[in-house]
C-alpha cells in the first residue's frame, strides 16, 4: 500500500520504510548515542545523570531533566523511551523529555535500560522497576513529591510503563499517580486486525514487530511470554488514570485501543486519543502541527494528573 497518499502531508518527511534486524540495530545505536549526546537542552532545563543497579545487579544510567531555578519538591515522571526494546534513545526523545519537564513542571527520570538482543525480558522491565523503587525510597532527597510519581513511555517503552502500573501492587509498591502510553505495544499474540493489515507501514510494521518479540522473549516458554505482555498481565485493584495515544497507520493501533477498553472495564479512567493520518513514531517530526497538537494533549494530561487541572483548560480536539 502506498501510505504516503494517506498519511498527513506534514509527515512525509519521516514516512520511510525502516528495516529491523541485528545488524541494523548495532549500526543505528552508534548514531543514536551520538545524536542524543549532541542534542542541546533548553536553558530552562537542567540535565544531570545518576547510575543505579537494575537487572541482576547490572548498572545503568538514568538521565534527569528538570526545570532550572526550582528548589521545591516537584512531581516526577519516569519516561521510558521506545525503540523495540533494542534501540537507544533518540534525539527527539531527549527533546520530548525536556518539553515534559518544562511544561508539566516535573522532574523527568529517563532510564537508559538494558536492550535486546543481548538482554531479553525481563532485563528492561527490571531496570525500570528498580528505578521506580529507588525514586520512591529517596523521593524526599531527590526533591520529589512521592504522591505524584507517574510513568510514561512510547511504543516498547509504553509496554514497560504499563507493566509497572499493572504490577505495582504485586511488587508491594505505592501506586503510580498516572500512566501515559503513546502508541503502546501491549499484546504478544499479534492477532488484531491492524497487526494483520499493516505489514508494510513506514517506520514500523507487523513483520518487524514479530521479530522484536522473538528477540525480547527468546529465553521464554510460549506460556511465559504473557508475563511480558500488558494485555495478559493481571491488573491491580486500583489502576492509575491512563492516557493512551494511537497512530492510525500503525500495526499497534488496535491493541492500544483494546488495551484501553480492558482498563476501562476494570474501572480505570482512560483517555484514548486516536490520532488521524499518523504513523508509528510520527512525533519524531516534532515541529509539525499534528505533533505539536498531540504533544499538547499529553502535557495537559500530565498537568491534570500532577496538579488537578480542570477540563476547561483542556486543549481543543483536532
pLDDT digits (tens, 9 = 90+) for 166-187: 999 999 999 999 999 999 999 9
pLDDT digits (tens, 9 = 90+) for 238-272: 999 999 999 999 999 999 999 999 999 999 999 99
pLDDT at residue number 1: 67
Q: Is the pLDDT of residue 3 over 90?
A: no
pLDDT band at 21 (very low <50, low <70, confident <90, very high): very high
pLDDT at residue number 222: 83
The rounded distance, in Å, linking the Cα atoms of 32 and 28 is: 6
C-alpha cell, 33: 548515542
280 backbone dihedrals φ, ψ, rounded to 5°: -60, 130
- Domain positions in the chain: 3-306
The rounded distance, in Å, linking the Cα atoms of 157 and 83 is: 7
Helix, strand or coil, per DSSP, at residue 184: coil
User: How would DSSP label each residue in 209-264?
Assistant: HHHHHHHHTTTS-GGGGGGG-GGGSPPPSSPPEEEEEE-SB-TTHHHHHHHHHHHH
Among the ranges given (30-44, 270-284, 299-313), the one the predictor scored with the smallest mean pLDDT: 299-313
Cis amide bond preceding 90, omega within 30: no
CA distances from residue 12 to 16, 144, 245, 251, 255 in whole angstroms, order as listed = 8, 40, 20, 18, 25
CATH architecture of 3-306: 3-Layer(aba) Sandwich (3.40)
pLDDT at residue number 314: 53
The rounded distance, in Å, linking the Cα atoms of 197 and 84 is: 19
Element (H, E) at 261: helix 253-265
Q: To the nearest whole number, what is the mean pLDDT of the chain?
A: 95
The rounded distance, in Å, linking the Cα atoms of 147 and 192 is: 36
The rounded distance, in Å, linking the Cα atoms of 233 and 224 is: 11
What does DSSP assign to residue 117?
Answer: T
Q: Is the pLDDT of residue 317 over 60?
A: no
Kindly state the average pLDDT of the residues 15-27: 95
With contact defined as beta carbons under 8 Å apart, do 161 and 78 qualify?
Answer: yes
pLDDT at residue number 273: 98
pLDDT at residue number 223: 84
pLDDT band at 315 (very low <50, low <70, confident <90, very high): low
pLDDT at residue number 156: 98
With contact defined as beta carbons under 8 Å apart, do 220 and 249 qualify?
Answer: no
The closest alpha carbon to 66, from 27, 29, 105, 39, belongs to 105
Amino acid at each position: 500500500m502506498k501510505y504516503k497518499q494517506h498519511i498527513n502531508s506534514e509527515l512525509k518527511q519521516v514516512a520511510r520504510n525502516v528495516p529491523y534486524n541485528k545488524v541494523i540495530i548495532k549500526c543505528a545505536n552508534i548514531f543514536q548515542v551520538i545524536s542524543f549526546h549532541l542534542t542541546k537542552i533548553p536553558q530552562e532545563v537542567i540535565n544531570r545523570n545518576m547510575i543505579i543497579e537494575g537487572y541482576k545487579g547490572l548498572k545503568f544510567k538514568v538521565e534527569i531533566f528538570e526545570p532550572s531555578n526550582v528548589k521545591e519538591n516537584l512531581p516526577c515522571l519516569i519516561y521510558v523511551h521506545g525503540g523495540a526494546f533494542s534501540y537507544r534513545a533518540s534525539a527527539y526523545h531527549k527533546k520530548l523529555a525536556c518539553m515534559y519537564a518544562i511544561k508539566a513542571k516535573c522532574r523527568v527520570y529517563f532510564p537508559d535500560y538494558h536492550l535486546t538482543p543481548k538482554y531479553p525480558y525481563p532485563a528492561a522491565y527490571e531496570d525500570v522497576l528498580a528505578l521506580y523503587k529507588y525514586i520512591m525510597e529517596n523521593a524526599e532527597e531527590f526533591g520529589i513529591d512521592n504522591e505524584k510519581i507517574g510513568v510514561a513511555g512510547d511504543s516498547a517503552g509504553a509496554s514497560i510503563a504499563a507493566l509497572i502500573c499493572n504490577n505495582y501492587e504485586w511488587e508491594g509498591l505505592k501506586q503510580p499517580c498516572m500512566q501515559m502510553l503513546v502508541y503502546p505495544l501491549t499484546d504478544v499474540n499479534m492477532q488484531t486486525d491492524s497487526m494483520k493489515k499493516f505489514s508494510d507501514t513506514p517506520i514500523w510494521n507487523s513483520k518487524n514487530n514479530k521479530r522484536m518479540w522473538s528477540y525480547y522473549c527468546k529465553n521464554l516458554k510460549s506460556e511465559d511470554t504473557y508475563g511480558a505482555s500488558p494485555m495478559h498481565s493481571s491488573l491491580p485493584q486500583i489502576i492509575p488514570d491512563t492516557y493512551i495515544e494511537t497512530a492510525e497507520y500503525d500495526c499497534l493501533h488496535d491493541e492500544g485501543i483494546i488495551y484501553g477498553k480492558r482498563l476501562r472495564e476494570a474501572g480505570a479512567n482512560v483517555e484514548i486519543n486516536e490520532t488521524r493520518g499518523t504513523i508509528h513514531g510520527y512525533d519524531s517530526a516534532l515541529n509539525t502541527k499534528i505533533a505539536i497538537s498531540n504533544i499538547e494533549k499529553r502535557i495537559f494530561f500530565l498537568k491534570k494528573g500532577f496538579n488537578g487541572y480542570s477540563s476547561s483548560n483542556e486543549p481543543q480536539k483536532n
